[in-house]
Amino acid sequence: MTATTDSDGGPLRPAATGTAADTAGRRPPVPGRPGAPGTPGLTETARWATTRSVEHLLGRQHSQGWWKGDLQTNVTMDAEDLLLRQFLGILDARTAEAAARFIRGEQRSDGAWATFHGGPGDLSTTVEAYVALRLAGDLPGDPHLAGASAWVRHHGGIAGTRVFTRIWLALFGWWPWDELPELPPELIFLPSWFPLNIYDFGCWARQTIVPLTVVSAMRPVRAAPFALDELHTDPANPRPPRPLAPATTWDGLFQRADRTLRRHRRLVPRRLRRAALAAAARWIVERQESDGCWGGIQPPAVYSLIALNLLGHDLDHPVLRSGIASLDRFAVWRPDGSRMVEACQSPVWDTALATVALADAGLPADHPALVRAAEWLLGEEVVRTGDWAVRRPGLAPGGWAFEFHNDTYPDIDDTAEVILALRRVSHPDPARVDAAVARAGRWTLGMQSAEGGWAAFDADNTSPFPDLLPFCDFGEVTDPPSADVTAHVVEMLAYEGRAHHPRARRGIDWLLERQESCGAWFGRWGTNYLYGTGAVVPALIAAGIPAAHPAVRRAVHWLVSVQNDDGGWGEDQRSYQEEGWAGRGASTASQTAWALLALLAAGERDGGAAERGVAYLAGTQRGDGSWDEPHYTGTGFPWDFSINYHLYRQVFPLTALGRYLHGEGAAAVAAPLRQGG
């Protein structure tokens, strides 16, 4: 089912019924029968749905104890993987055709590619997809490529794409390096207190920018296998001048500074440039993980491989060999022979969420599956100092990262969720659990930002300058505190008996101050206001804020007001750009669950909205205990980079159903035993 729009393109509520294809394999609730809202059978229906969901999730656990769902983004990951392999000279026909099969399958009917399911066409994504298909052997005259090139020309051509796309094109001479923003490698020498040093960037941007300074300095061009004239609006004038912002604005000032840097790049002393390139190379190599990747995410790995190759590392060098091998582990080969590349992998996050879901659904705390999960999570604890220590020197390490291998960038969100998961398990070595949680708790408290909230990876990563660089025209490049991460930390501290800790109280105040006028909270790492509100309300209640508090009541009122006619909730990615989309979109299992988590925490279990939400989840469950969810409900960068976490559709509905049946779970009961911990 998709959201309908009015004549101006504004959001309306999705229709209450779907097509036959929408309901295939599902059991919609029928009024007057068990499972419909307001009937005595709803609890029994929820219990049956919970049982099947538990069986499904248990069946997906790896023998080592972890869970991981596919992490689907958009076809730029697949396109850039092929471009990297072409640049390094290692692109093979099997990989190219498998990637092309996936990319073709994601094309819209108008010839473009979007960045999320049901979204509008995106120019940069479409250009990269087009080039990748050309690398795979598709021809400009093929109907799907002819449609794509026409769409590209109509929407501004290559000249209108973002900087990162034009960098990829510059690597093959399809765009001139002189027409790209300057990014000098001497940035590596700026001290951490200096504006625009590399630690002013969020960790994901930092890991990408350092290798890109090498690429920008060396300006490589490999022979292009074909021309791209058909992607220019005017091949005779492919690079129309870009307008300058007024010199009195920050944007205008940075644009002019970039022009100055480009004009004077040849004046940089050669000895200084060589030293900067060497320092950047050391920085990159020092941060390679044990599996060969960088930070457990694909984009920094891609640019790091290019940079090191340009600096003389051949393909047989151990760093490059292991790095290329790590990229193969991001590939998901599908039954139809297509190949999808994940931007990242989320086993720690998925395992923590699955553990919480199963425990809250009533699985015994000593169930072997939960014990295996806890054992695996304990083995993933990060006890090494990383880049976060630049802003928090002297803080002892402790916490968890998102991925299989990432000791440099543990994150606060995963750490809070892992603690909540571990406390729901009866592990045979409780002292070991207590020690890990104590280390992680101290680290989390120490990572609070000065304003009172918590960010994902760093403390006080709030400089306004990185976003102003002409280079940074895509996605978030800093890591300020967010409501969803702060809420997860507050919830964890409450369950650890630290709701009255001064840092927890500051976090609660920070959350209350940032409630939107409509009653919702902005969701930085999930879409969007449903995610933020679904995180904040349970955290406030766990921390002792009464359900009658005005902030909680405003949140409940907002959730009820945006419930869809089918009983579910949904929110489109467009809510990051247009206020009218807040809480609006086709119903999804994960977003319905987030709304339910807030309503249940606020004491609304027997209210009509919660009952309709539970009935929606039970009625849309598939026969194998799972849910469908093509919509993207995760967020990498608000609007710019959306994520479909394939396990969200399983773990969050199960958590909501479990709390509908059993309350808030074992952690809330155990919290008083840890008072003052």
Q: What is the CA radius of gyration of the chain?
A: 25
- Which of these ranges, 75-79, 122-126, 254-258, has the smallest mean pLDDT? 254-258
- Determine the length of the chain: 677
DSSP string, 288-302: B-TTS-BTTBHHHHH
Tens digits of residue pLDDT in 328-383: 999 999 999 999 999 999 999 999 999 999 999 999 999 999 999 999 999 999 99
Nearest residue to 353 (alpha-carbon basis) of 630, 628, 665? 665
Q: Which of 400 and 290 is assigned the larger pLDDT?
A: 400
Query: Band of the pLDDT at 665, cuts 50, 70, 90?
Result: low
* CA–CA separation, 285 and 278 (whole Å): 11
Phi, psi of 411 (to 5 degrees): -130, 155
Mean pLDDT of 456-475: 84
* 435-446 pLDDT per residue, tens: 999 999 999 999
3-state secondary structure 489-500: HHHHHHHCCCCC
**Model pTM greater than 0.75?**
yes
Helix ranges restricted to H, 60-202:
76-88, 93-105, 123-135, 143-154, 163-170
User: What is the C-alpha separation between 81 and 298, in angstroms, rounded?
Assistant: 9
Burial per residue of 198-223, b for 16 or more beta-carbon CB atoms within 10 angstroms, e otherwise: bbbbbbbbbbbbbbbbbbbbeebeee
pLDDT for 650 equals 98
CB 73 within 8 A of CB 114: no
pLDDT, residue 35, reads 47
| The pLDDT value given to residue 263 | 64
Kindly state the DSSP code that residue 588 receives in the 8-state scheme. B
Instruction: Extract the tokens encoding 551.
Output: 């902030």
pLDDT of 411 reads 96
Percent of the chain's residues with pLDDT above 70: 89
pLDDT value of residue 254:
55
C-alpha distance from residue 389 to each of 117, 340, 493 (Å): 38, 35, 22
In angstroms, the CA 210 to CA 186 distance is 10
- The dihedral sign for the CA sequence 116, 117, 121, 124: positive
The answer to whether the beta carbons of residues 263 and 368 sit under 8 Å apart is no
pLDDT in tens, 411-422: 999 999 999 999
Mean pLDDT lowest among 27-41, 94-108, 352-366: 27-41
Give dist(CA 454, CA 288) in Å, integer. Answer: 26
How far is Cα 440 from Cα 663, in angstroms, rounded to an integer? 26
CATH for the stretch 27-69+346-461+481-674: 1.50.10.20
Pairing of strands 641-645, 331-333: unpaired
If pLDDT is split at 50, 70 and 90, which confidence band does 261 have? Answer: low
Distance CA(673)–CA(677), nearest Å, equals 9
- pLDDT surpassing 60 at residue 24: no
List C-alpha distances in Å: 325 to 99, 132, 158. 17, 21, 32
Is the confidence at residue 1, as pLDDT, over 50? no
Residue 202 token pair? 């969020």
Hey, which residues are catalytic here? 413
Q: Which residue has the tokens 């025209």?
A: 473
Map residue 417 onto helix, strand or coil. Answer: helix
The secondary element (H helix, E strand) that includes residue 72 is strand 71-72
For 276-289, what is each residue's pLDDT tens digit? 999 999 999 999 99
Mean pLDDT (the chain) is 89
Query: Cα separation of 677 and 662, whole Å?
Result: 26
**Which of 29-43, 276-290, 627-641 has the lowest average pLDDT?**
29-43
For the chain, give every domain's residue range: 27-69+346-461+481-674, 72-237+249-341
Alpha carbons within 13 angstroms on the beta-carbon side of residue 336 total: 9
User: Which of 226-240, 292-306, 387-401 is most confident?
Assistant: 387-401
Query: Which of helix, strand or coil describes residue 673?
Result: helix
Per-residue pLDDT reduced to its tens digit, 146-160: 999 999 999 999 999
| Mean pLDDT value of segment 496-504 | 96
pLDDT band at 467, cuts 50/70/90? confident
Region 642-668: what's the mean pLDDT?
88
Two structure tokens written together for 406: 């990432």
421, 416, 408, 423: which is closest to 440 by C-alpha? 416
> Residue 57 and residue 576: Cα distance in Å, rounded?
31
Whether 72-237+249-341 and 27-69+346-461+481-674 are alike in CATH topology: the answer is yes
Q: Is the pLDDT of residue 6 over 80?
A: no
Burial class from Cβ neighbours inside 10 Å (0-12, 13-18, 19+) for residue 502 reads exposed
Spatial contact of 287 and 295, defined as CB atoms under 8 Å apart: yes
Summarize pLDDT for 43-87 with one digit per residue, the tens: 999 999 999 999 999 999 999 999 999 999 999 999 999 999 999
> Right CATH number for 72-237+249-341 from 1.10.10.10, 3.10.129.10, 1.20.1440.130, 1.50.10.20?
1.50.10.20
- The predicted pLDDT at position 240 comes to 76
* pLDDT of 253: 58
Q: Which of the two residues, 399 and 639, has the higher pLDDT score? A: 399
> Average pLDDT, stretch 464-483?
84
Which of 328, 431, 378 is closest to 95 using CA atoms?
328
Instruction: Copy the structure tokens of residue 284.
Output: 């990159």
What is the rounded CA–CA span in Å between residue 298 and residue 294? 8
The pLDDT of residue 182: 81
CB atoms near residue 191 (< 10 Å): 7
